[in-house]
Amino acid sequence: MGIIGYGSLYPFRFWANPNPAGALRALLSTWSNWTNPADVIANILLYLPLGFFISRALHRWRGPVCVAFTAALGFTFSVTMESLQFYVIGRDSAMSDVYSDVIGITLGGLAGYLSRRFGRTNLLNSGDPFPKLLLVSWWLSRLYPYVPVIDLHKYWDALKPLVYSRAISPLDFCRHLVTWLVAAELIESLLGRFWGRFALVLLLPSLLVARIFIAEIALSPDEILGGVAGIVLWLAWSSRTTNRTIVVTGLSLGNIVVQGLAPFYLLPDPRPFGWIPFRSFLRGSVEFAIPSFLEKAFTYGSLVWLLTRSGLSWSWATALGAGVVFVIRIAQVYLLGWSAEITDVVMLLIMAVIMRLMPETEEDHSLARGSPSKHVQV
């Protein structure tokens, strides 16, 4: 709620709105107006995880009551934020945002209830939930704007770069390769060696085919070659080394450093550093902000997760990850093409806190609720 409130009230410049209708009536007057589809999707995605976590927190409540309460809470919170935007310079309140918010938080609440209801018999709900959150963030970042299209011309446009583009970007190729290695580590931690590799081999073609059918997406040689190279490398190498996780962690850390400093063009004079979190997201377009936010959540969340898997404590993993990202962002004040700001450090800290708050297994949920576990001896 804090993040949603921050984004809703930014830039926090309040004024005495002269509109005589007042905040609530001005909001209700927009009941029949709808914003563009990108804003609708953004609001649904913003409130969906909130509904999921609220529903999971209300584990003692019955399903219908839990989902209804979550939806009511989301409606109240959304109306409050939209009404407050009436007094923020440059912000407009709209009932279409309330509709989208309620849809998102209700879907999240329903997903949270179903994950509790069928959790003990559902393979995907066993094990550590944080890798699942990271994988979902990654998949969502690759499939935005989530609108399938039935159009042969669109399919050809999505495949055209593979036919006519001969240029391969080493940086993009390495980024995709490392991303698939990290994804392989996450998947195998959930499903085990055999099923994890089976799922990994199926995931690449499934993701590529899905991207062909999604509007405004075109495939690139880098993502295909990087994905294939990452999977082949994982299958051929991971079973032969005992320090696999440490190697993947080092590659992930190096990838973050290189991607954050490329293309290595120095400015004659440094630019100011931005200390306002999420400023570039809030000022930029929704089409850029959503996939970028999800990709950063995956990148920085997986970095902390990998560091802990490599043997560091959560505190040291968080401090090391935040320190590296902060140094990169400070260096970006001297580099062309970057908006040097504190946002990435804040995102890493948020993902680290989420990881800390998430119980690792279903047994940890039982222990957190105070119920006995069959693996605990007294």
Token pair for residue 240?
């032969």
Query: What is the per-residue pLDDT across 69-82, written as a single tens digit (0 to 9) for each?
Result: 999 999 999 999 99
- Share the mean pLDDT of the chain: 86
Residue pointed to by tokens 């509790």: 116
Position 92 pLDDT exceeds 60: yes
Whether the predicted pLDDT of 43 surpasses 80: yes
What's the pLDDT tens digit per position in 162-180?
888 778 899 999 999 999 9
Q: Is the pLDDT of residue 378 over 70?
A: no
**At CA 157, angle to CA 154 and CA 160, rounded to 5?**
150
pLDDT band at 17 (very low <50, low <70, confident <90, very high): confident
Q: Of 116 and 289, which is predicted with more confidence?
A: 289
Answer whether 309's CB lies under 8 Å from 245's CB. yes
Cα 144 from Cα 125, distance rounded (Å): 24
pLDDT digits (tens, 9 = 90+) for 253-284: 999 999 999 988 998 889 899 998 988 888 87
- The two tokens of residue 34 are 């709808």
pLDDT tens digit string along 169-217? 999 999 999 999 999 999 999 999 899 999 999 999 999 999 999 988 9
Q: How far apart are CA 142 and CA 216, in angstroms?
A: 12
Lowest mean pLDDT among 9-13, 189-193, 353-357: 9-13
Kindly give the residue spans of alpha helices, DSSP state H, lying in the chain: 2-9, 22-28, 37-57, 63-85, 95-117, 129-143, 152-164, 170-213, 221-237, 244-261, 279-283, 286-309, 314-331, 343-357, 362-369
pTM over 0.75: yes
| Model confidence band, residue 286 (pLDDT cutoffs 50, 70, 90) | confident
Residue positions counted in the chain: 378
Per the model's pLDDT, the better-predicted residue between 204 and 46 turns out to be 204
Q: CB of 208 within 8 A of CB of 224? A: yes
Q: Do residues 301 and 357 touch, judged by C-beta distance below 8 A?
A: no
Q: Is residue 44 scored above 60 in pLDDT?
A: yes
Residue 214 and residue 151 in contact, taking contact as beta carbons nearer than 8 Å:
no
Q: Quick check: 264 and 336 in contact, CB under 8 A? A: no
- The SS3 assignment for 124 reads helix
Phi, psi of 274 (to 5 degrees): -90, 115
> What is the pLDDT, as a whole number, of residue 119?
56
Q: CB of 49 within 8 A of CB of 73?
A: no
* The pLDDT of residue 118: 66
The pLDDT-based confidence of 293 (bands split at 50, 70, 90) is very high
- Whose tokens are 């953004």? That residue is 42
pLDDT at position 59 is 74
Residue, of 104 and 283, whose pLDDT is higher: 104
Angle, vertex CA 345, rays to CA 341 and CA 347, nearest 5 = 110
- Give the percent of the chain with pLDDT over 70: 92
Q: Under 8 Å CB-to-CB from 73, ≥6 apart: which residues? A: 54, 105
DSSP assignment string, 28-76: HTTTT----HHHHHHHHHHHHHHHHHHHHH-TTS-HHHHHHHHHHHHHH
Q: Name residue 341's beta-bridge partners.
A: 274
Spatial distance between the Cα atoms of 73 and 69, rounded to a whole number of angstroms: 6
Q: Is the pLDDT higher at 377 or at 110?
A: 110
296-324: average pLDDT: 96
Max intra-chain CA distance, the chain:
72
Judge contact between 55 and 70, C-beta under 8 A.
yes
pLDDT grade for 360, boundaries at 50, 70 and 90: low
pLDDT band (50, 70, 90) for residue 113: confident
- Residue linked to tokens 């979902």: 136
Q: Are 105 and 70 in contact (CB under 8 A)?
A: yes
Residue 172 contacts residue 220 (beta carbons within 8 Å): yes
